[in-house]
A and B are shown apart, each in its own frame.
Chain A
Amino acid sequence: MNMSSSGKPTRDDLRRLVDRLQPKIARLFKHYGVSTAEAERRVAAALIRLSYQWDRVRDREVWLLTELKDGLSVSREVISKEPRDE
């Protein structure tokens, strides 16, 4: 769902966005076994990035979920490709 079309996000805009997505984000982190510290880092980085691109992104809910999902799947790919000590 689209929210305020203003180029400047407010704390309330971000709070509403995260509140709406909280169950999905939590399930996503649980699925990937993400620690709370890593979850905090990833969400903060994604929200800062979204804040800079606020006027460019229309569907911010989809954007935020995709950003978090893509980040997690990329890091999982990297881990699975890393050589293991036998």
Chain B
Amino acid sequence: MSERKSDPEETYKPALDTALEKTGERLQEIHREIESAAGLLEELAATPEPERPERIRTEVRFHALKLCDLLLKRSRESWFRDPARAVELARMATEIADWLDAGYYGESLVEDERALAWAYLGNAYRIASDLRSAEEALLRAEEHQKKAGEDALTGAQILSFLASLRTSQGRFDEAAELLDQAIPIYREARERHLEGKAMIQKGAVLGYAGRYREAARIVRRGLSRIDLLEEPHLLVAARHNLIWYLNESGRHAEALDHLQTTRALYLELGEQTHLLRLRWLEGRIARDLGRLDQAETALREASGGFIARGIGFDAAMVSLDLATVYLRQGKTDDIKRLAAEMVPVFESRDVHQEALAALLLFRQAADAEEVTLGLLERISDYLQRARRNPELPFHAEE
């Protein structure tokens, strides 16, 4: 081939120019698709749910990849605010992805979009505590990703969601292994922020598994990679976790130093739940430093705040921490009062039956003046795991 003998840049320049010209022509259509996506989404959202699949099937204007992208973005925004809505939006995305025209977009792009839509649906199911549906959806995502030609970044996203699911199932080693596969993919693609985020996620997995020193180490590395402007909440959450792990590793003074330097960030972002978590952390550090009066005040404030906002699991866990303070102070009557107050509050909150059984055990022990640090730690550990997996049974006896 004569092309091989000449300067490659000269040889291929006309081909690249023509490719740019062709793409330029298509850009207008892509821009139109982006601009119309929000309106189409509003129309779909206003359509009663039972009629949506038929509209999606019969009206070709809904068969748009950028509409699917927008649904996934909105689903992501609803993950923690409204998990049921997140599921609904991601499900719509999978329905639209089914109808995308492979002849127009290309087989690989369409399959990749299907993979992402199913992956997002899987993650939304996990957050909504439907772990079985999450597993099925993520399996579908993997199938589509293979058909798409195994796009690396989509693959890493699926691995990360799957790791979150394994964490919810208490399968921490598997979760860590999945993240070990995702992290180098992001590194190779020079997606520094996503690499850092996956490291912070791995830190959380190690933290749940009680491997606090390793968790603190990898969260520090993750923090050095994330883009502060892109996700300021991730920065607070990661620093919060780091302080938690330092405290759990016995490095209480170091944890307190970090907390002082992070305080401004908590205040700056100003979300009430962040401030309550800060107060909780302050209470735990104070307790572990032996400053029991200070710990009591902080934990009471945090517990009251979580109860007022209906965040049952956190309130229960803070109350158990408060019980450990009372126990050290020898305040048996306060433990009894706390236990008696907890059960009715949590009966009307987001705490499921098994978790309630654990709290009842605490109440019985308090009434009998038989509460021990071991019992409190066991119930607290159970609640931590059961929060992510409502099907996890509680065993009264070890």
Contact = CB atoms under 8 A, between A and B. Distances in A.
B30 interface: yes
Interface string A25-56: 11101100101110111111101110110001
B152 interface: yes
A52 B66 contact: yes
Given A11-B20, A25-B16, A57-B153, A36 B11 contact: yes
A81 to B, nearest CB: 16
A30 B27 contact: no
A37 B34 contact: no
Interface string B59-75: 00000011000000000
Contacts of A56: 153
A18 B20 contact: yes
Contacts of B192: 58
B264 interface: no
A37 B15 contact: yes
A43 B34 contact: no
A62 B189 contact: yes
B78 interface: no
Nearest to A44: B19
* Interface of chain B, main secondary structure: helix
A8 B189 CA distance: 21
B191 A40 contact: no
B66 to A, nearest CB: 7
A75 B114 CA distance: 23
B109 A59 contact: no
B397 interface: no
Nearest to B7: A26
A36 B152 CA distance: 27
A29 B22 CA distance: 19
A14 to B, nearest CB: 6
Nearest to B108: A49
Interface residues of A, number: 40
Contacts, number: 107
Nearest to A43: B19
A74 B149 contact: yes
A80 interface: no
Interface in B169-192: 189-192
A9 B4 CA distance: 33
Nearest to B66: A52
A26 to B, nearest CB: 4
A9 B9 contact: no
A23 interface: yes
Contact of A33 (B4, B14, B34, B66): B4
B12 A62 contact: no
Interface in A53-78: 56-59, 62-63, 66, 70, 74
Given A22-B9, A52-B109, A39 B30 contact: no
Contacts of A10: 27
Contact of B22 (A18, A22, A44, A63): A44
B1 A35 contact: yes
Interface string B189-203: 111111000000000
A40 B14 CA distance: 8
B395 interface: no
A59 B9 CA distance: 23
A11 B191 contact: no
A44 to B, nearest CB: 4
Nearest to B194: A58
B15 A49 contact: no
A48 B26 contact: yes
A7 B33 CA distance: 12
B11 A59 contact: no
7 contacts: A11-B27, A27-B8, A40-B22, A48-B23, A58-B191, A58-B192, A59-B190
Given A22-B12, A51-B23, A51-B27, 6 more contacts: A26-B9, A30-B8, A44-B22, A47-B23, A48-B26, A59-B189
Q: Which 10 A-B pairs give the minimum distances between C-beta atoms?
A: A43-B19, A26-B8, A44-B19, A40-B15, A30-B8, A47-B23, A39-B15, A59-B190, A36-B15, A26-B12
